[in-house]
Amino acid sequence: MTEPNYPTENVPSVPLEAAEAGSNLAMTLRFHEISEAEHRILNPYTEDKLRLLGEVCRLREGQRQLDLCCGKGEMLTTWSRDHGIGGVGVDISEVVLAAARQRAAELQVEDRVHFVLADAGTYRDDTAPYDLVSCIGATWIGGGPGGTIDLIRPMVRPQGLVLIGEPYWITPPTPGAEDAMGHGFTSLIGTVERFNAVGAELVELVMADHDSWDRYMAAQWWTASQWLRDHPDHPDHAGMQNFLDRSRTTYLVYGRRQFGWGVFVLRLTR
């Protein structure tokens, strides 16, 4: 294991207490909806990387995808336009689903792609199995990548693909890094071993990079900052300010240097 090559002293403090005071699930969801209002892709990918992922998945016309925690549906709608696939996106946020439906209409794929308001952790439908089942950036629905694959297993065809978008530690986390970025993540190879342990073989991957992470994170700061300027008396102002401060600090101190992210293309072996 390589040692982190930078100091951990003089790390600016993050107003954790204040951030956590409003950190119930609904508030966190709301802060993301605000800060990602201008985003179409709610993960550290650019449009090019999303397109590349579609190509490496060798999608074919008529295939069907189930996208759990689909966000604004950019993956399903653009892949439907580019490859002729259809499918279902599931999310718990009405705000992102409204954007997803609008995008489907804009790309004229609304007859092939549908969006459902539901908890992806318990979602089932009678049109399964799918050719492709994805969970990009939300494996908490299954308690981690292994549990999410177990949850997905009954909904994917035997020769189908599973796509998992997941962070990993580029270097072992420095003190404070896990508190800031989240507990339970592991190295890149450790992540792949977690897939292997539940019978999922890695067959392809497309990684985020510093620039694509910056587009995801830094673009949120502008949007959040503008919202704060436009809503000085809003009851969520203090919570949103803390969310923004924490987002900037955790990313600049820890995330940008230590956290990687990619979408892992998997085939089930059992």
Ligand X SMILES: C[S@@+](CC[C@H](N)C(=O)[O-])C[C@H]1O[C@@H](n2cnc3c(N)ncnc32)[C@H](O)[C@@H]1O
Point out which residues bind ligand X (CB under 6 A). Answer: 29, 41-43, 69-71, 74, 90-93, 96, 119-121, 136-138, 141
Nearest to 141 by CA among 97, 181, 92: 92
In angstroms, give the least distance from the CB of 129 to ligand X: 20
CA dist., res. 66 & res. 40, Å (int): 18
CA dist., res. 207 & res. 262, Å (int): 4
In angstroms, give the least distance from the CB of 49 to ligand X: 11
Q: Which residue carries 């092939």 as its tokens? A: 112
- Asked if 183 contacts 169 with a C-beta cutoff of 8 angstroms, the reply is no
- Output 92 or 104, the one with its CB closest to ligand X: 92
In angstroms, give the least distance from the CB of 31 to ligand X: 12
- Output 43 or 220, the one with its CB closest to ligand X: 43
- Output 57 or 174, the one with its CB closest to ligand X: 57
**Nearest residue to ligand X, by Cβ distance, number only:** 71
In angstroms, give the least distance from the CB of 70 to ligand X: 6
DSSP state of 259: E
CA dist., res. 37 & res. 219, Å (int): 10
Residue 206: how many other CB atoms lie within 10 Å = 21
- Output 105 or 117, the one with its CB closest to ligand X: 117
Q: Could you please report the per-residue DSSP string of 144-208?
A: SHHHHHHHHGGGEEEEEEEEEEEEEESSPPPTTHHHHH-SS--BHHHHHHHHHHTTEEEEEEEE-
- Output 5 or 122, the one with its CB closest to ligand X: 122
In angstroms, give the least distance from the CB of 64 to ligand X: 17
- Asked if 263 contacts 168 with a C-beta cutoff of 8 angstroms, the reply is no
- Output 29 or 219, the one with its CB closest to ligand X: 29
Between the two ends of the chain, the Cα-to-Cα distance in Å is 31
Nearest to 90 by CA among 65, 57, 132, 123: 123
In angstroms, give the least distance from the CB of 93 to ligand X: 4
- Output 137 or 262, the one with its CB closest to ligand X: 137
In angstroms, give the least distance from the CB of 166 to ligand X: 11
- Asked if 165 contacts 137 with a C-beta cutoff of 8 angstroms, the reply is yes
